[in-house]
Amino acid sequence: MRALAVLSPELDKKVDLEDKCYIPIDSLKIPIALIHVPDEKFDEDDDRYADYVLVKKKGFSLNYRDFGVIESAWNRLKETEGDSYYPIGSDFCGEVVKIGSNVTNLSVGDLVIQDGFYPEGKENARPGLPTNHGSKELETLHKLKLIKLPKNFPLDVAFGLGIGAQTGMSMINKAKIKKGDNVLVTSVTSYTSLFLLNLLHDYDCNIYGLSYSGKNIEYVRNQFPNIKDIFSLKENAIPENLVFDAVLDPFSDTYFPHLILTRKLNYNCRYLTCGIFNQTTEKIANGKAVDISKILPLMVIFNIQLIGNCLGSTEDLEKGIDLVNKNTLISIDSNFNEDDNLSDFIHKSFNMNKDRLGKVCFTY
């Protein structure tokens, strides 16, 4: 089977240059390749597999969180002797090819994605993403950590669906959006935010966007005609009389300090965030410090709720899938396969060339 993996130094030496790439994370250059590894073993008659399912991946995608996974894997592998590797990938879609004796919620042939329900567990299934190895072509996963997709669901959308649908729907639910609310979606050209805009399609509210650079915002305007306006953070272009009742933000370390200090958050604003931009070791160490003594008084005075969000419930995922299936506005930037340049896929996935608009997928 195939897997996209971080390579140990010894294995790196054995893989041809044209078959791998080096991903730059801060000052590191980390070797990654699509490699062939032994097939996953699965015995339907073995009680150890009773609650498990063997999934054959049809495709996968990388998320911004994979930056941290890749760096962590390299920190373990770089001192390893011999051939070793760590498969990566946060999102995937696959077909059920084998099931254990206790599996009744899924059948062979079902098309599935991961269910990263969090923070509560279910039965003997742990909360959170079921795998950091989404690119493994064959993988054994717990029956409750998978959810069946509707028939004829578009595959390329499914390859990057799980985290976006579950996280986005959870954030929107926690934001308690009311009719007429001014809702701001930050980092508006990022995949997470494009997903949020898709999920907000039928909400009766005033939707605005915020971009760090202001680049490619016309694409978003055309894709989502219900968005009232999009502003640039660099230009500090938000009108003076406009404040927001709810904010949905993938990168709170970039946007939250600016928005609160410039008084753009309304009384009782619900500020939902699912992540930070500075995730790697060097970026965290060298990041610009925020003066919390200036922020806390404003949070108190304006009754601002800062709410962190990690993934969501199974119900969030189900509703997200339904809305995506209904509206079908999810943007796919590009779709790669084994014959394409691996470096192009990696650079596009992490938007290193600043020209990505939508999800980047890899098809097996």
* CA-angle at 21, arms to 330 and 359, nearest 5°: 0
Judge whether residue 289 has pLDDT over 80. no
Q: Where are the beta strands (DSSP E) in the chain?
A: 2-7, 20-25, 28-36, 52-61, 85-87, 91-99, 111-114, 138-142, 146-148, 182-186, 206-211, 227-232, 244-249, 265-273, 305-308, 332-336, 359-363
pLDDT (0 to 100) of residue 280 = 64
Each residue of 223-270: pLDDT tens digit? 888 899 999 888 888 999 999 999 999 999 889 999 999 999 999 999
Judged on CB neighbours under 10 Å (0-12, 13-18, 19+), 32 is buried
Residue 323's pLDDT band, with cuts at 50, 70 and 90, is confident
E strand or H helix at 324: helix 314-327
Mean of the pLDDT values across residues 62-66?
92
pLDDT at 285: 61
Tell me the mean pLDDT in the region 19-27: 92
Q: Does residue 151 surpass a pLDDT of 70?
A: yes
- Cα–Cα nearest to 264, from 249, 279, 276: 249
- Six token digits for residue 134: 């989404």
Asked if 169 and 150 touch (Cβ cutoff 8 Å), the reply is no
Q: Which amino acid is at 207?
A: I
What does pTM read for this prediction? 0.90
**Rounded mean pLDDT of 280-308?**
83
Residues 6+ apart with CB under 8 A from 222: none
**Distance, CA of 145 to CA of 166 (rounded, Å):** 13
